[in-house]
Amino acid sequence: MTDQAALVHDPLAAGLYRHLITFDAINHNQWLRACAEHATVGECRRCGGHLSPRHPDQRGHRFDYEAACIGCGQTYTAPGGRVLRRSSAHNEMPGGWWDQRMHALKNSTGGAS
């Protein structure tokens, strides 16, 4: 995989890079690799900063994955490796996202309100 392909951001996958997701769950081996290489695993929903992974906690037979934003410190957790779809809440979308969305909607309807 090229470095460029690894940086593709998939907003539907909770801010994590696509290469970390397999069938709506975090790929354990890819996550461990990111931890070992001190690589980032995604982008923060709040500020757009990079997410730094923490080594997964094992709870019985499941692993809980956690990452913290390098910029604002926001922590994200995926219990059992489940990747939850992003919320459309205003405070969880990147800056300017709602403005662009409303502009696109106005243009697709011919400017009618």
Higher pLDDT, 22 or 4: 22
Share of the chain above pLDDT 70, in %: 71
**pLDDT surpassing 80 at residue 77:** yes
Q: How many CB atoms lie within 10 A of CB 54?
A: 16
Confidence of residue 5 (pLDDT cuts 50, 70, 90): very low
The pTM (predicted TM-score) of the whole model is 0.62
Each residue's pLDDT tens digit, 13-37: 458 888 888 877 889 999 999 999 9
**pLDDT surpassing 60 at residue 72:** yes
The candidate with the shortest Cα–Cα distance to 52, out of 62, 61, 21, 65, is: 65
Cα–Cα distance between 39 and 52 in angstroms, integer? Answer: 7
Cα–Cα distance between 36 and 110 in angstroms, integer? Answer: 51
User: In angstroms, how far is CA 28 from the centroid of its own chain?
Assistant: 16
pLDDT at 94: 60
